[in-house]
Amino acid sequence: MMRQTLQPLFRVPRAAFSSFSSSSISSSCFRPSISPKASIFTSPPATLSPIRLFSSTPATMAETTGTERKYIHTFFEVEWEGPVMDDQGQPTSTVKRQTGRINMRLFKDPEMKIPRTVENFRALCTGENEKGDCYKGSSFHRIIPGFMLQGGDFTRGNGTGGRSIYGDKFADENLGLEHNKTYQLSMANAGPNTNGSQFFITTIQTGWLDGRHVPFGYVETDVDLDPDSVKVIKAIEATGSQSGAIKYSKRPTIINSGEWYGQPKEEKDKTEGVPAAEK
């Protein structure tokens, strides 16, 4: 059977017709040998339009209120070739190899009702799963500026592979969650209940994806805590094209990944200026 690459759908809207400290990092994953077996994705239909569709933190780590943390923190360290960005976040004519770090928050609040989706991504960041599968060594194989960065295919690297920690694929959990902000993390799929390891990071608000994909976190955007993660996303976004193909020889590759135990802003604010002995 021919393996098909997961491609985005295009949809015409009706209107068209008229960055953190890296301290306390858990051990990042080792890149294991991967079997060539991969999940089969079927390509959804496509019509031209400007809008696109995609055919545990320890309990001792608590917020200052005494409640359990609402987020799990993970990271990617990425290497790529592409244009150097200027101070306004625009690509320059200088192209070179670069490295950078993307810090991400995964939703842990039980009310979100996505525990398996979150644990799948976390365990693939750290390699803490039965097969030792890991995002380390995989790449962003498809990047469309003004839309998204797609990655997570660690078995084939072209959008036809990858697998979850539960098997080749697992069911959608909460399709009621909204794609209502930029730099969200969401699961790529080939239709209902076909989640594997592939994910995408949005670079615009993508509300038309609601009900089709499960968002489960976001890139850290608080510049007071992390001034660099969004800059790295924008630089990687500049390596893509409207077809999704990467324009440069060095595809953006995850050279390290894992979970880290950062200090939430609320705790940081309350400990600033406090003598070390009192913290």
Residues tagged active-site:
142, 147, 150, 189, 200, 209, 213
**Nearest Cα to Cα of residue 61 among 212, 261, 227, 234:** 261
Cβ atoms of residues 212 and 193 within 8 Å: no
| β-pair type (71-85, 199-202) | unpaired
% helix / strand / coil in the chain, to the nearest 5?
15, 30, 55
| Distance separating alpha carbons of residues 168 and 181, to the nearest angstrom | 29
3-state secondary structure of 167: strand
Dist. CA 279–CA 133, nearest whole Å: 38
CA-to-CA dists, residue 277 to 62, 105, 264, 273, 274, angstroms: 20, 30, 20, 12, 8
d(CA 139, CA 149): 10
Which residue in this structure is represented by tokens 């991504």?
A: 121
Residue 105's DSSP bridge partners are 73, 218
In the chain the beta strands, taken as DSSP E runs, fall at 8-11, 51-54, 71-85, 91-107, 140-144, 148-151, 184-187, 199-202, 215-219, 253-259
Write down the H helix ranges in the chain. Answer: 115-126, 229-237, 265-271
Residues in a beta bridge with 143? 149
